[in-house]
Chain A
Amino acid sequence: MKFRSKIIDIGCLNNFTRVVTTISKLTKTCVLRLTPDNLYFVLSGKVSNGGVAMWCELAQANFFEEFQLEGVSVEANEICLELAPDNLSRAMKTAQNAKAVKIKLTKKHCPCLTIAAELPTMSSVSRVVTHDIPVDVIPRRLWNDFKEPSMPDFDVSIYMPPLKIMKNVVDRMKNLSNFLVIEANMNGEMNLKIETDLVSVTTHFKDLGNPPWGGDGSQTGAASQRDLETMVQVRVDIRKLQQFLMGQQFNPSKAMCNIVQNTILHLILLYEDVSLQYFIPAVA
Chain B
Amino acid sequence: MDCVVTGGNVKVLAKAIHSLSRIGDELYLEPQEDGLTLRSVNSSRSAYACFLFSPLFFSRYAIPDGHGFRCKVAIKSVQAVFRSLATLEKTVEKCHIELDGEKSRLTFTLHCKHGLLKTHNLSFQDSESLQAVFDKDASTNVLKAQPRLLADTVLNFPPSLEEVTVTVSDERVWFRNYVDQDAEPSKAMLTELCLSADEFDHFAVKAQSSVTFCLKELRGLLVFAESTGLPISMYFDGPGSPVVLSVTDSVLDTNFVLATLSDESAVRQQNPKRAGTPLPPLDDFMNDELESYLIAMDTSMAPGPSFRSLLFGSVYPTGSPLSNLTVAGQKVLASDSEEDPEGV
A220 contacts the other chain (CB 8 A): no
Q: How far is the CA of A133 from the CA of B191 in the complex (A)?
A: 9
Q: Name the residue on B nearest A3 (C-beta).
A: B290
- Are A125 and B198 within 8 A (Cβ)? yes
Q: How far is the CA of A112 from the CA of B288 in the complex (A)?
A: 14
- Are B193 and A106 within 8 A (Cβ)? no
A102 contacts the other chain (CB 8 A): yes
- List B residues at the A interface (Cβ < 8 Å): 155-156, 158, 185-196, 198-199, 271, 273, 282, 284-285, 288, 290, 293-294, 296-297, 300
- Are B285 and A107 within 8 A (Cβ)? no
Mostly helix, strand, loop or mixed at chain A's interface?
strand
Given contacts A123-B196, A128-B193, contact A109 B185 (CB under 8 A): yes
Q: How far is the CA of A131 from the CA of B158 in the complex (A)?
A: 12
Chain A 66-92: CB-based contact to B (< 8 A → 1; otherwise 0):
000000000000000000100100110
- Are A124 and B198 within 8 A (Cβ)? yes
Can you name 11 A-B residue pairings with CB atoms under 8 Å? A90-B189, A94-B191, A102-B285, A107-B290, A108-B293, A109-B190, A110-B185, A121-B198, A128-B284, A132-B191, A133-B189
Q: How far is the CA of A184 from the CA of B188 in the complex (A)?
A: 44
- Are B297 and A109 within 8 A (Cβ)? yes
A118 contacts the other chain (CB 8 A): yes
- Are A134 and B285 within 8 A (Cβ)? no
- Are A107 and B191 within 8 A (Cβ)? no
Cβ contacts under 8 Å, A122 to chain B: 199
Counting chain B CB atoms within 10 Å of each CB, which of A94, A108, A109, A118 scores highest? A109
Cβ contacts under 8 Å, A87 to chain B: 189
Shortest beta-carbon distance, A238 to chain B, in Å?
29
Q: How far is the CA of A112 from the CA of B284 in the complex (A)?
A: 16
A129 contacts the other chain (CB 8 A): yes
Among residues 106 to 148 in chain A, which have CB atoms less than 8 Å away from a CB atom of chain B?
106-110, 112, 116, 118, 121-134
Q: Name the residue on B nearest A129 (C-beta).
A: B193
Q: Name the residue on A nearest B271 (C-beta).
A: A109
CB-contact partner of A129 in B156, B158, B196, B300, under 8 A: B156
Cβ contacts under 8 Å, A118 to chain B: 285
A193 contacts the other chain (CB 8 A): no
Cβ contacts under 8 Å, B156 to chain A: 94, 129
Q: Name the residue on A nearest B198 (C-beta).
A: A123
Given contacts A109-B185, A127-B195, A134-B187, contact A90 B158 (CB under 8 A): yes
Q: How far is the CA of A122 from the CA of B300 in the complex (A)?
A: 37
- Chain A residues with a Cβ closer than 8 Å to the other chain, count: 32
A104 contacts the other chain (CB 8 A): yes
- Are A126 and B285 within 8 A (Cβ)? yes
Q: Name the residue on B nearest A130 (C-beta).
A: B192
Q: Name the residue on A nearest B273 (C-beta).
A: A108
Shortest beta-carbon contacts, A-B, top 5: A123-B198, A125-B196, A132-B190, A129-B193, A87-B189
A206 contacts the other chain (CB 8 A): no
Shortest beta-carbon distance, B160 to chain A, in Å?
10
- Are B290 and A106 within 8 A (Cβ)? yes
CB-contact partner of A4 in B187, B195, B285, B288, under 8 A: B288
- Are B282 and A128 within 8 A (Cβ)? yes
- Are B296 and A109 within 8 A (Cβ)? yes
Cβ contacts under 8 Å, B288 to chain A: 4, 102, 104
Cβ contacts under 8 Å, A102 to chain B: 285, 288
CB-contact partner of B300 in A84, A109, A131, under 8 A: A109
A164 contacts the other chain (CB 8 A): no
Q: Name the residue on A nearest B294 (C-beta).
A: A107
Cβ contacts under 8 Å, B190 to chain A: 108-109, 112, 131-132
Q: A94-B191, A133-B189, A134-B186 are in contact. List 12 more A-B contacts (CB 8 A).
A: A108-B190, A109-B185, A109-B297, A122-B199, A127-B193, A129-B191, A129-B193, A129-B194, A131-B189, A131-B191, A132-B191, A134-B188
Given contacts A116-B285, A123-B198, A125-B198, contact A130 B191 (CB under 8 A): yes
Q: How far is the CA of A127 from the CA of B145 in the complex (A)?
A: 15
Shortest beta-carbon distance, A149 to chain B, in Å?
28
Cβ contacts under 8 Å, A226 to chain B: none
Q: How far is the CA of A2 from the CA of B291 in the complex (A)?
A: 11
Q: How far is the CA of A151 from the CA of B225 in the complex (A)?
A: 56
Given contacts A94-B156, A123-B199, contact A108 B193 (CB under 8 A): no
Shortest beta-carbon distance, B83 to chain A, in Å?
31
Counting chain B CB atoms within 10 Å of each CB, which of A105, A118, A124, A128 scores highest? A128
CB-contact partner of B189 in A4, A91, A127, under 8 A: A91
Q: Name the residue on B nearest A88 (C-beta).
A: B189
Shortest beta-carbon distance, A126 to chain B, in Å?
7
Q: Name the residue on B nearest A104 (C-beta).
A: B288
Cβ contacts under 8 Å, B297 to chain A: 107-109
Q: How far is the CA of A130 from the CA of B288 in the complex (A)?
A: 13
- Are A107 and B293 within 8 A (Cβ)? yes
Cβ contacts under 8 Å, B294 to chain A: 107
Cβ contacts under 8 Å, A2 to chain B: 290
Q: Name the residue on A nearest B157 (C-beta).
A: A94
- Are B194 and A127 within 8 A (Cβ)? yes
Q: Name the residue on A nearest B175 (C-beta).
A: A129
Cβ contacts under 8 Å, B290 to chain A: 2, 104-107
Cβ contacts under 8 Å, A4 to chain B: 288
Cβ contacts under 8 Å, B293 to chain A: 106-108
Q: Name the residue on A nearest B190 (C-beta).
A: A132
Shortest beta-carbon distance, A29 to chain B, in Å?
11
Counting chain B CB atoms within 10 Å of each CB, which of A102, A124, A130 scores highest? A130
